[in-house]
Structures are given as structure tokens and as C-alpha cells.
Amino acid sequence: MSDQAPKSDEPLDDDPQDDAKQHIHIDPYEKNWIRISIGFLVFFVIMITIAGLALGIQVPTDEGRVDPNTLDTALPWSEPGLREIVPGEEYEVYIVARRFSFDPREITVPVGSKVTFWATSADVQHGFALDGTNVNMMVIPGQVSRLAATFDEPGEYNFICHEYCGLGHAVMYGTLTVEK
């Protein structure tokens, strides 16, 4: 590459008055690198779009708001826990995050079921990440979080609070059991 460099020592158009003539000198190697860079980035955009649209891997989106001071008195948050939508197939679970535990802490669903997780916080910001799935979301007072996952493997899956919520943060977790 530097074999080229001495050549480019020649001054280019040197008239600062005439802006129209003022082009950037770009080394041919650099032009190729710019093409490669743009190519990479376009490729990545295509891949995340396919993952989002064709594979349905979506991030949390706006689900409306809730007053964190009314969680004890208003449904659905006053009765957190599992709701059976289609037995053996489809479930919803409402989870309230409080320093330093989730309510409920233990959830059990049959294998093969699709579970939608709804969550909000009664106090500070928390996180909710479920082992081995794409369920990973912030749990923020005043906001409703929702993500879903399908469980084809029986076993125990921990859900962990991943946002610092106070001195007891490290012990805040719960377990989802998928039964045969």
C-alpha cells in the first residue's frame, strides 16, 4: 500500500476559492475498504431484519403504563401468577418485581407450552432475564414489560434480576419449572 503513498504526495487542486473543485483525495485501497465496511453493515442490517420479521425475535415494545402505587389494589397486578389460556399450550404469567424478590418466585408449566411474561415493578428498576431464552427485559416502575418464549425442553430455568436494585440485589431470582 505504501508503494502508492509517495505518488499521492502530489498536491491536488489547490484553489481554496473554488469549492466545487474541492474533492477529497481517497486512496484506492481505502475506497475498497469503505466498500467492504458498508457491505458488512448492510449485511448485518439484513440479518437482524430477517431475525426480527421471519424468525419473530422481537424486543420489548410499548405496552402502556401502570401506576406503581396501585399494584396492590388493581387487577391484574394485585393477583400476580400464572393464567392458563389454552391448557397445556398457552400460558400467561404476571410478575411483580419488588426489592428483593419476584412475585411469584416459582412458576410451573407443562413442556411444549408458550408462556407470555408480563412484568412491572413496585419500587425501583429491576431486570428480568430467563436462562437459555431470548426473554431479557427491563422491569421499570410505571411501565409494563412483555416478552414470550416456548419451552420444548423440560427442566428448571432461573429468571434473574439483572439491574442493580439495592443492597439485596444479588439474591433476587426465581425459577420456572417445565414439567413433562
User: Can you list the alpha helix ranges (DSSP code H) found in 5-84?
Assistant: 28-53
Binding residues for other proteins restricted to 91-130, rule: CB under 8 A: 99, 123-125, 127, 129
User: Which residue's CB is nearer to other proteins, number 88 or number 132?
Assistant: 132
Of residues 107, 109, 115, 139, which one binds other proteins by CB under 8 A?
139
User: Which residue's CB is nearer to other proteins, number 37 or number 108?
Assistant: 37
- Provide the residue type at 4 as one letter: Q
Q: What are phi and psi of 15, to 5 degrees?
A: -105, 100
Least distance (Å) between residue 37 CB and other proteins: 4
User: Which residue's CB is nearer to other proteins, number 22 or number 108?
Assistant: 22
Binding residues for other proteins restricted to 19-78, rule: CB under 8 A: 19, 22-27, 29-30, 33-34, 37-38, 41, 44-45, 47-48, 51-52, 57-63, 65, 67-69
Contacts of 44 (CB under 8 A, 6+ apart): none
Q: What are phi and psi of 41, to 5 degrees?
A: -65, -40
Strand partners, 117: 93, 147
